[in-house]
Amino acid sequence: QVLIKKYVLEKIKCDICKKDIEDETYYEVTTSHNDWGNDSWESLHTADICSDECLSKMFNEYLELNSDTKKIEVEKVNRKNRDGLK
């Protein structure tokens, strides 16, 4: 007997304003740094962002971090086509 679990994404919450993301598209943002030391891998964070305004706020906050090397990846995704779902 094989048991298959499926999870359906019902809602996504913005990590900046904490509101539910209702739009079809939103931003997935990954941030990190490459400073020396064991904390480099711990610096990897992902966030769901609802709007350009929240994205701008997150970007400005990230620039204020005390790190010599910064990395940010921003991807605008469509929730209906996410992970092959249609």
pLDDT at 38: 62
Three-state secondary structure of the chain:
CCCCCCCCCCCEECCCCCCEECCCEEEEEEEECCCCCCHHHHCCEEEEECCHHHHHHHHHHHHCCCCCCCEEEEEEEECCCHHHCC
pLDDT at 86: 39
Per-residue pLDDT of the chain (86 residues; tens, 9 = 90+): 898 887 666 788 999 999 999 888 999 999 887 777 666 667 788 999 999 999 999 999 888 877 777 788 999 998 776 554 43
pLDDT at 43: 76
pLDDT digits (tens, 9 = 90+) for 26-45: 999 998 877 776 666 677 88
pLDDT at 44: 82
